[in-house]
A = this chain, B = another copy of it.
């Protein structure tokens, strides 16, 4: 089965397509916003990468959400629920973890079908 890589860099690709499954790298926000704002920015980035991979949020299979402060769970969910396709929500897990740079409050990994 063919493998296609989107935005490959020296360390990682932003997405890897294997057959009809798309694996995205963990996405973070570059803005210095709060958790809700960063989540919104990340989800818009994910929309863009999914579009490049020939798919969209209605075909996300699973998501892993890392929050640097689990007390921000409700704030993340406000942005998430405003964005997720209500007819096609993915499987999801959310846990607390510190991330690669202190300005990052959220990181989201998704696996999608296309």
A residues contacting B by CB (< 8 A) are: 1, 3, 5, 8-16, 18-21, 23-26, 59, 61-64, 66, 70, 73, 77, 80-81, 84, 86-100, 107, 109, 111, 113
Contacts and interface: CB of A to CB of B under 8 A. Distances in A.
B91 A100 contact: no
How often does this chain occur in the complex, in copies?
A: 3
Nearest to A15: B91
B100 A61 contact: no
A97 B100 contact: no
A84 B11 contact: yes
28 contacts: A3-B113, A8-B87, A9-B89, A10-B84, A12-B63, A12-B91, A13-B89, A13-B91, A14-B91, A16-B61, A16-B91, A18-B61, A19-B20, A21-B21, A23-B62, A25-B92, A25-B93, A26-B95, A62-B111, A66-B95, A70-B99, A70-B100, A73-B100, A93-B107, A93-B109, A94-B99, A95-B97, A95-B98
